[in-house]
A = this chain, B = another copy of it.
Amino acid sequence: MSKLASFKELMREIDITSNIMNTLSWDMRVNLPPKAAAYRAETMGFLSGKLYSMKTSPKLYELCGELSAVGNNDRITARMIKEALKEYKRLTEIPQKLYSDFTEHNLKAELVWQEARAKNDYAMLKDSLVKEFDYKRQFAACHGFAENPMDGLMDEYEEGMTTKKLDKIFDELKASVKELLGKIDASSKAYDKTFIFGKYPIDRQRAFCKRMVGIAGFDLLAGRLDESAHPYTTGNNKYDIRMTTRYFENNFTNAALSSMHEMGHSVYAQNHLDDLAYTTLDHSPSFGWDEGQSRFFENIIGRSEPFWAYFLPMAQTYFDGLYGMKLNDFYNSLNAVYRDPRRLDADELTYNLHIVIRYELEKTIFAGQVSFDDLPDAWNLKCKEYLGITPKNDAEGVLQDMHWASGYIGYFQNYVLGNCYDGHLLNKMKQDIPDMYDQVANGKFDEILGWQIRNVHTHGCFYNPEELLERVTGEKLSAAHYIHYLNDKYSRIYKL
Interface residues of A (CB under 8 A from B): 13, 16, 19-20, 23-24, 27, 31-36, 38-40, 42-43, 46-47, 219-224, 237, 239-242, 277
Contacts and interface: CB of A to CB of B under 8 A. Distances in A.
B237 A36 contact: yes
Contact of A16 (B27, B35, B42, B219): B42
Contacts of A224: 31, 33
A33 B277 contact: no
A34 B240 CA distance: 9
Given A39-B277, A239-B38, A223 B33 contact: yes
Nearest to A222: B35
B220 A33 contact: yes
A402 to B, nearest CB: 25
Contact of A219 (B19, B35, B241): B35
A406 B221 CA distance: 27
B237 A34 contact: no
A275 to B, nearest CB: 14
Contact of A221 (B20, B34, B39, B240): B34
Nearest to A30: B31
3 tightest Cβ-Cβ pairs between the two chains A and B? A36-B240, A35-B239, A35-B222
B43 A16 contact: yes
Given A34-B221, A35-B221, A224-B31, A240 B19 contact: no
Contacts of A222: 33-36
Nearest to A50: B13
Indicate the member of A16, A34, A38, A47 with the most B CB atoms within 10 Å: A16
Contact of A32 (B20, B43, B240): B240
A240 B277 contact: no
Contact of A40 (B24, B32, B240): B240
A237 B39 CA distance: 7
How many subunits of this chain does the assembly comprise? 2
Contacts of A237: 36, 39
Indicate the member of A13, A27, A240 with the most B CB atoms within 10 Å: A240
B39 A240 contact: yes
A36 B38 CA distance: 29
A43 B20 contact: yes
A484 to B, nearest CB: 39
A430 to B, nearest CB: 32
B33 A239 contact: yes
A227 to B, nearest CB: 13
A46 B50 CA distance: 14
24 contacts: A16-B42, A16-B43, A16-B46, A19-B39, A20-B20, A23-B24, A31-B31, A31-B242, A33-B220, A33-B221, A33-B239, A33-B241, A33-B242, A34-B222, A35-B221, A35-B222, A35-B240, A36-B222, A36-B237, A38-B239, A39-B237, A39-B239, A39-B240, A40-B240
A46 B39 CA distance: 22
Contacts of A223: 33
Contacts of A46: 13, 16
Contacts of A219: 35
Contacts of A31: 31, 224, 242
B20 A24 contact: yes
A245 to B, nearest CB: 16
Nearest to A12: B46
Contacts of A42: 16
Indicate the member of A36, A220, A242 with the most B CB atoms within 10 Å: A36
Given A33-B223, A33-B240, A239-B36, A43 B19 contact: yes
A242 B42 CA distance: 19
Contacts of A19: 39, 43
Nearest to A241: B33
Contacts of A241: 33
A223 to B, nearest CB: 5
A237 B23 CA distance: 18
Contacts of A32: 240
A277 B27 CA distance: 21
A481 B64 CA distance: 68
A221 B42 CA distance: 18
A13 B224 CA distance: 30
A31 B24 CA distance: 12
A31 B31 CA distance: 10
A438 B222 CA distance: 51
Contacts of A277: 39
